[in-house]
Amino acid sequence: MTPAIERLGKGEIIEISAKSAALEWGRRRPEYSLFWWPGRRLLGGVRAVLAALAVPDPRAAIDSIDGVGVEKLRKFTAGRLVVDPFSGGGTIPLEASRMGYEAVGLDSNPYAVSVSRASRSLLNGECRTKSACLVEAARRVWRSLYNLWCGEGFCIIHVLLARCPPCTAPAWVSRLRNGINLLLDGRTLRPASGINVSPKEPMVSLPEGLPEEAPGYVAYAAEVLTAGGRRWVYLGDDGLGARVASHLRSTLPRAVELVSGLPGVPVPPGKETSKLLAAGIQDFKHIYTPRQLATISDFVNNASSIGCRLEASCIAGSSSRASSLLAIYYQPARRVNPAFIVKTYWVPANPVELNPLASTCMPGPPSTRCKPLGRGGLWSLVKRYSRGCSSVGGRLEFRVWDSSRGLPPGMTPYAVVTDPPYPGMQSYGQLSLVYSLPHRLAGLPVPSRWVEVDSMSRGYVDAITRSLRLAGMRLEKDGYMAILLSSGTERGAGILAKVIHGILYSGLKLAIILPLAGESPGRLGRSFNKLVYVVVFKRGAPTTPNPLRPLEWAADVGEAAGYRPDEVRVSSKVAEALASELEDLLKAGG
């Protein structure tokens, strides 16, 4: 019987997109999906596509979004090989394996493969042991470095920093819950409500005498945990603020001493790293404050000595979004999405120092019952890892492999499913170098360059098309290729059309193109078009009479996913442009 992928109707596509967006918004993604941050798709759509490639019943594909009926899927997927030639952090192979496929992830980026292999331990029966190892490593670090983060009657969660000179900070420094903002007013940090915040709000000059936290940065406010709960203090005040400031001054020399002999990884010149170099960051260890670097280094070293160094080094790299100077505590006056800072290695003028192991158990060591304080730190990711233990259904493997050479010898997949680099976006190789320092601290290989598709080059179309064409040639009879493509512009849709058309010359036939929700609503993302186009090819005769017709559903899909009206309009225009470009190419080239 024909798999459901060729028979998904408008109603089913809308339901898949709505459920997928709700899954993301509810933050119910599996833990491995957080380990790799250069780029991710909505998990629900990936699950639905993988299920629909095997099962004949469309309902089963929809149910798979919430992880329902995985055992029933396995009777259709068992023994079938799924290959992802651009696997990145490994979400597609990991989900395919969970559904019972045999799965292989290939990527030329060695850091992506490291993260995938670390995530694999969640599914291959090692998770309980690895989780206990990570928790113990964190506990050891806390015992040895407790005095860096805790003083008399308080433990530090966040410290707000300002680059000096000019030693200024935004008047609006943070948004709290229930519409309350923190206002830096002269020498007072106070809560305020009913404020209209805009990027044009004034900056305030910071007085002399504030504690230095990193070369070129001073600390001006801190969030601390006390016996009375969490509270923010201004470090120029008397009382608790003065005690926190004194603690920061007195413990900084020890932190500097602890990290003085640590090996580093030089920041190479490049488009993505140029902002780091412009900010004076010459080595990746300098994106951390001394306290943070000492904590992360000790965590990785402890984990390496007790059996979970790969998982610890990947968690440390992923935590760099929060546990480094790349992070910014949400400052409404700046209207900044922290993800964008990391994607361009932007060191903001007012970053935040997060205690990587901050937890509700402070001043005691963290344990499995402790909740993380501060999103995205080491303890936050260790906790998420500990919750993620599962079981695998099929064989799972990740390899460092250049897919421009085709698939490895002897590999004949039932399906090739991939989310390749997006045209004209970022250099994933340069972005992933943030994992290099934790790898070096753990004694793992630290490559600095490798061959990969440059999504910003003029040769992108040829490189991607060649790799996918070679992969498609290896499909078994009646096998499928499903490619997740996206573009934010109508011009970009033309690029995608050329890629799709070029793949047809590998002997594959276009089965269907499905528009699905590709990003969550209400969040900043890659572009105004948040849809992803699942382009399905088949080695054999497809049953879909008009493979381009589903592109007409783009607006309805966007509305069902909860996208804004302007995003829905852009999605419709891009889908129309893709259909038009493909029709022209098919007429001209046969």
Mean pLDDT of all residues in 48-59? 95
pLDDT at 452 > cutoff 90? no
- What would the DSSP string read from start to end of 506-548? GT-EEEEEEEEE-S-TTS--S-S--EEEEEEEESS----S-TT
Backbone angles phi, psi at 226, to 5 degrees: -120, 180
pLDDT at 241 > cutoff 80? yes
pLDDT at 14 > cutoff 60? yes
**3-state DSSP: the chain helix, strand, coil percent, rounded to 5?**
45, 15, 40
Place of tokens 């015992």: 143
pLDDT at 585 > cutoff 80? yes
Amino acid letter, residue 465: T
pLDDT at 329 > cutoff 90? no
> What band does 123 get if pLDDT is binned at 50, 70 and 90?
confident
The pLDDT score that the predictor gives to residue 348 is 86
pLDDT at 304 > cutoff 80? yes
Q: Which of 353-367, 484-498, 558-572 has the highest mean pLDDT?
A: 353-367
Tell me, rounded to whole angstroms, the distance of Cα 212 from its chain centroid. Answer: 31
> What band does 334 get if pLDDT is binned at 50, 70 and 90?
low
Question: Per DSSP, what are the bridge partners of residue 188?
Answer: 185
Least confident of 153-162, 345-354, 519-528, 571-580: 519-528
Q: What is the 8-class DSSP label of residue 311? A: H
> What band does 24 get if pLDDT is binned at 50, 70 and 90?
confident
pLDDT at 413 > cutoff 90? yes
If DSSP codes are grouped into helix, strand and coil, which group holds residue 221? Answer: strand
Domain 4-125+389-589 annotated CATH 3.40.50.150: yes
> What band does 536 get if pLDDT is binned at 50, 70 and 90?
very high
- Strand arrangement of the beta sheet that strand 81-84 belongs to: 396-400, 102-107, 81-84, 415-418, 480-485, 531-538, 509-517
Contacts of 294 (CB under 8 A, 6+ apart): 145, 148, 255, 258, 259
- Mind listing the pLDDT tens digit for each residue in 188-208? 888 888 777 666 678 889 999
The pLDDT score that the predictor gives to residue 335 is 57
Rounded to the nearest integer, the mean pLDDT of the chain is: 89
Amino acid letter, residue 450: W
Least confident of 25-29, 142-146, 400-404, 481-485: 25-29
- What would the DSSP string read from start to end of 331-355? -TTT---HHHHHHTT---SS-EEE-
pLDDT at 333 > cutoff 60? no
pLDDT at 71 > cutoff 90? no
If we measure between CA atoms, which residue out of 308, 310, 301 comes closest to residue 259?
301
Domain ranges of the chain: 4-125+389-589, 128-387
Would you put residue 29 in left (φ > 0), alpha (ψ -120 to 50) or beta?
beta
- Mind listing the pLDDT tens digit for each residue in 254-294? 999 999 999 999 999 988 899 999 999 999 999 999 999 99
> What band does 26 get if pLDDT is binned at 50, 70 and 90?
low
The pLDDT score that the predictor gives to residue 228 is 94
Mean pLDDT of all residues in 485-494? 87
CA Rg value for the chain: 25
- HSE-up (13 A, CA, CB side) for residue 341: 22
Q: Which of 117-126, 186-195, 275-284, 513-522 has the highest mean pLDDT?
A: 275-284
> What band does 146 get if pLDDT is binned at 50, 70 and 90?
very high
Tell me the C-alpha distance between 319 and 299, whole Å.
12
More confident residue, 493 or 589: 493
CB atoms within 10 A of CB 59: 12
- Strand arrangement of the beta sheet that strand 180-185 belongs to: 172-175, 180-185, 188-193
Tell me the C-alpha distance between 374 and 388, whole Å.
20
pTM of the model: 0.91
Mean pLDDT of all residues in 469-476? 95
The pLDDT score that the predictor gives to residue 454 is 75
CB atoms within 10 A of CB 493: 25
The pLDDT score that the predictor gives to residue 70 is 82
Mean pLDDT of all residues in 116-126? 88
Instruction: Judge contact between 354 and 287, C-beta under 8 A.
Output: no
The pLDDT score that the predictor gives to residue 523 is 53
The pLDDT score that the predictor gives to residue 589 is 65
pLDDT at 38 > cutoff 70? no
Percent of the chain with pLDDT over 70: 93
Least confident of 62-76, 167-181, 399-413: 167-181
Instruction: Judge contact between 475 and 446, C-beta under 8 A.
Output: no
Contacts of 49 (CB under 8 A, 6+ apart): 5, 61, 417, 482, 484, 516, 534
Backbone angles phi, psi at 577, to 5 degrees: -65, -40
